[in-house]
Amino acid sequence: GQDLVIANIGDSRAILGTRDQHNNLIAVQLTVDLKPNLPSGSLSLSLFLLSLSTLTPTNPTNTHLPLQMKKVLMSLPFAEEAERIRRCKGRVFALRDEPEVARVWLPHNDSPGLAMARAFGDFCLKEFGLISVPEVSYRLLSQRDEFVVLATDG
């Protein structure tokens, strides 16, 4: 088919191999890692996902934009990873020796230190803001799109 729907949880990645206007093969990142330090008011994240899922090199004025915009606006509460975790009394911070890796911690214990805001089966952090609701994106594939790479480290 021509429809590509991706449901992303955690720090998995989807990348599209597609052709640019000069017929060169390029990589287009289709997902954003759902790390616990994503900022509140993540409209830029949602618009980034929207642009990746609706705009194509052959159709930069995709007519599905109003419907996609509604879907993005409905998903905004789920895009605010750090805010959701803090509202649920979880903590988000990085260790001194790993300042670039924000993690989710229990309210009164420096564990488990999970480096993602969404995951399956982590019952320890579930009540403190870790969720298993995927970020769902859509892309209408074109003739320039050749393959998708799905990657995870776990």
Q: How many CB atoms lie within 10 A of CB 142?
A: 13
Is it the case that residue 40 has pLDDT exceeding 70? no
Q: Quick check: 51 pLDDT over 60?
A: no
Name the phi and psi angles at 47, rounded to 5.
-70, -35
Counted residue by residue, the chain has a size of 154
pLDDT at position 53: 47
pTM of the shown model? 0.66
Work out how many domains the chain is built from and give that number. 1
pLDDT greater than 70 at residue 7: yes
Mean pLDDT of the chain: 79
Q: Which two tokens stand for residue 90?
A: 């979880």
Contacts of 67 (CB under 8 A, 6+ apart): none
Q: Per the structure block, which two tokens stand in for 64?
A: 């599905």
For the cut 80, the answer to whether the pLDDT of residue 26 exceeds it is yes
Integer angstrom CA distances of residue 137 from 6, 78, 111, 124: 5, 13, 32, 28
Q: Please report the pLDDT score of residue 41 as a whole number.
A: 41
pLDDT for the residue numbered 107: 95
Helix (H, G, I), strand (E, B) or coil at 151: strand
pLDDT 10s digits, 101-123: 899 999 999 888 999 999 988 88
Let me know: does 12 contact 146? Beta carbons within 8 Å.
Answer: no
Question: Which residue range forms the structural domain that includes residue 136?
Answer: 3-151
Task: Pull the structure tokens for residue 52.
Answer: 């990746």
Alpha-carbon distances of 68 from 39, 50, 56, 72, 149, rounded to whole Å: 22, 7, 14, 6, 23
